[in-house]
Structure 1
Amino acid sequence: MAANEDQEMELEALRSIYEGDECFKELGPSGFQYRVGDNGDPKAFLIEISWPETYPETAPNISMNAFFNNQISPAVKQSIVVKLREQVEANLGTAMTYTLFEYAKDSKEEFMENHLPFNNMLTLGNDGSLDPANLTSGKKRDKKEQLSKSQKRKLADKTDHKGELPRGWNWVDVIKVMLQNLRDVLPGSEKLAKTGSKEDE
């Protein structure tokens, strides 16, 4: 049972208000979840509220740590909790769980205006904070070109022991190019083609 008479009355009221509402879940006599938004909605989020023994004279505990919220950035979660706590201050001493859930529903667009889908599988830095080097824009990494065994063999034959191509492997034979250009430009320059080295013949 709830710890005090105010909590018992609020629990009964919550059960009757949210009866049949699939967004509402009672975690126990003093703990509740409410999903704001539909399943599959990228801006949907889940609020957990639990009552300490002295609630409603003291503030309820508000959490956004449910697995359902793992696509929401820590900054957005924190801002939602801060705004809900402002409502708690205004309603301290009264039954406020329904008020908080309804406020979250009415303010969903405002709460989620800075929301971008967030990958919670990022690695954390040594201090437990997010490492910005691991933040990705969701783009797939470019795949490396896969080479066949014969392509790898040919590449290995062309390279030295360090995996580098020999110096001058892509140099152009300057004499050949000049002769070709002369042949194209000068009439009767076919004889010039025979002045190359013996290798060329």
Structure 2
Amino acid sequence: MAANEDQEMELEALRSIYEGDDCFKELGPTVFQYRVGDIGDQKSFLVEISWPETYPESAPNISMNAFFNNQISQAVKKCIVNKLQEQVEANLGTAMTYTLFEYAKDNKEEFMESHQPLNNSLTSIGNDCTLEPTNTTQSGKKKDKKEQLTKAQKRKLADKTDHKGELPRGWNWVDVIKVNLDHLLMFGKW
């Protein structure tokens, strides 16, 4: 059987297996994505597999570069891809996309056990994908952002201040006479 016939058969099988599964996405006839985990889960990730022209005789391309994975460190992504590549070598010559997606689902916890929040970084030790967390902040809390002013707000503030950046005395005082006149006119007592 030619590689294209094998690809067509695997494509039909994938479509029937993952029909109605919102985790599976066919981006093209030879490019597929599978989301492992729920959308709100911090340990979920997206695996993308694309077939070269000679697949399944040659290895598929595995990528973790989707925007969905931007919260995952490069070390964890590399570890996941390396583990999936081991499965590719074991299954070379056979249809393996389903096998790779299922392997990723079955081993999600192991793959993501060293996944840390954004303010922590990971360093890889050796090539066995052992990861050691390195805490980059002492408190482990996210820093609060300062409120950002728009250009118009900055201009108004600059117009109100003097050359030292201080507001002039009485800048927020209320014109008592104007307020009283407005009050009298409003209630018809003028």
**TM-score normalized by structure 1?**
0.60
Amino acid at match of 2:45: F
Amino acid at match of 1:9: M
Q: 1:114 matched to which residue of 2?
A: 114
Counterpart Cα distance in 2 of 1:75 and 1:42: 16
5+ residue gaps, structure 2, are 120-135, 147-160, 166-190
Give the deviation of 1:140 after TM superposition. Answer: 1.4
Describe the superposition over 1:49-86 as per-residue Cα deviations: whole angstroms up to 9, x where unpaired: 00000000000000000000000000000000000000
Identity, % of aligned pairs? 81
Counterpart Cα distance in 1 of 2:37 and 2:57: 30
5+ residue gaps, structure 1, are 120-134, 144-148, 154-201
Describe the superposition over 1:20-45 as per-residue Cα deviations: whole angstroms up to 9, x where unpaired: 00000000000000000001000000
Conserved 8 A contact 1:58-1:93: yes
What is the SS of the residue equivalent to 1:27?
strand
Q: 2:43 matched to which residue of 1?
A: 43
Matches within 5 A, 1:114-193: 114-118=114-118, 137-140=140-143
Structure number with greater Rg is: 1
Give the deviation of 1:141 after TM superposition. Answer: 5.7
Amino acid at match of 2:83: K
Counterpart Cα distance in 1 of 2:141 and 2:99: 37
Give the deviation of 1:142 after TM superposition. Answer: 9.5
* RMSD after superposition: 2.3
The alignment covers a number of residue pairs equal to: 130
Amino acid at match of 2:24: F
Q: 1:95 matched to which residue of 2?
A: 95
Amino acid at match of 2:61: N
**TM-score normalized by structure 2?**
0.64
More strand by share: 2
Amino acid at match of 2:32: F
Q: 1:79 matched to which residue of 2?
A: 79
Q: 1:185 matched to which residue of 2?
A: none
